[in-house]
Amino acid sequence: MTLSSTRVLLVIAGGIAAYKSLDLIRRLRERGAGVRVVMTRAAQEFVTPLAAGAIAGERVHTDLFDARTEFDVGHIRLARDTDLVVVAPATANLMAKMAGGHADDLASTVLIATDKQILIAPAMNPRMWEHPATRRNLAQLLADGVVAVGPNAGEMAESGEAGVGRMAEPLEIVAAVERLVAARRPQDRPLAGRRLLVTSGPTHEPIDPVRYIANRSSGKQGHAIAAAAAAAGAAVTLVSGPVTLADPPGVTVVKVESARDMLAAVEAALPVDAAVFAAAVADWRVASAGDQKIKKGQDGAPQLLLVENPDILATVARRAAGRPRLVVGFAAETENVLANARAKLARKGCDWIVANDVSAATGIMGGDRNAVHVVTGAGVDSWPSQSKEQVAAALVARIAAALAAADPRGSA
């Protein structure tokens, strides 16, 4: 979704994760948000106001007693002249101040003076996160209506320790902002009340316990579609093959390995209003996978008998009962893209095919950008090259419009 005309006040507290806040500013502005920044004194030990201000496009606010702003009660204006307040990183100290209602610097004063929704992204050492005082403060903030995203598990940058305490990644925070903004804008939740199914990533078909047949799919496009659908208000089930991507926020994720596993998970997720099959499912599997590792022998390479995997897209598209109202398939081609996509549309029985050229020269397979053609019975709509997140947003908007036209009252 877009954050156009959304005003975000970002409070940056003093932790090593403050460096991520610079990318957060950039990500918010990419989506059209206006960002004002408040930095604590400790935050300025990690990143400079000049850097944050250059990315935000305006001066950073650091001092409660700033003669340039306090003549018009600047801290109150900052607290009220915004749509949402984001605290990232939210340190243990600032969370304690917020929970206790302290106001001894600009950041804490703004936070107690605002009447807007507050989103915090906690970040601290794992032992600090687990400390009873931090847990009490978090519970109080949540009871007060503050929303939290993260922290995540992982290695700590400053200590080498591992555990829960890493600040959520900028895109996770952006997704949380989008959900909060969308909740106040019904027009930005066109899939509210709908159920969507998305498949993503490759499948791994075992040859023996250590080898498998797979493809180069990264899952980036499928995961982006699931995230965009959730941001549009849908209840989303994402059936994902093996990928290295984080689970999209607000999405029910079912992780599978093989095509047969994926089909079972897909059928278990039905019924849904729409299904988007973005996964690159292996067409074949070994008829009889070895129980032990296949060894080299004097007779040369082993002969592997391949059999076809179940056709998940066609199975769902041709269901006699419980077929989703809209079934969308993907066609990753290296030649004759449109001709192959039209043939696949007819052969599979689905409603749309999203086709793209994944030959090595395009960089699409595993990359961050995509150029697709949406092929339907009515014709072809070719989209320009754009980020996979932009493709996902445009596709989800088109799905929402199609479902609304078919059933304007809501989901079945």
Distance CA 110, CA 102 (A): 10
SS (H, E, C) 244-280: CCCCCCCCEEEECCCHHHHHHHHHHHCCCCEEEECCE
Q: Cα-Cα-Cα-Cα dihedral of 98, 104, 108, 111, to 10°?
A: 90
End-to-end CA distance of the chain: 24
93 classed as catalytic = no
Residue 283 assigned to a binding site? yes
- Cβ atoms 218, 365 nearer than 8 A: yes
312 annotated to bind ligand: yes
Binding residue per annotation — 20? no
- Among candidate residues 125, 137, 152, 215, the one labeled active-site is 215
**Is 327 within 8 Å of 316 (Cβ atoms)?**
yes
Q: Is residue 310 a known part of a binding site? A: yes
Residue 68 φ then ψ, to 5°: -75, -20
Query: Is 295 annotated to bind ligand?
Result: no
Annotated binding residue 97: no
Q: Is 330 within any annotated ligand binding site?
A: yes
Three-state SS sequence of 43-74: HHHCCCHHHHHHHHCCCCECCCCCCCCHHHCH
CA 132, 136, 139, 145 torsion-angle sign: negative
Sign of CA pseudo-dihedral 336, 339, 343, 345:
positive
Query: Any idea which residues carry the catalytic annotation?
Result: 215
Binding-site residue set? 283, 293, 310-313, 330, 344, 348
Return binding residues for CTP: 283, 293, 310-313, 330, 344, 348
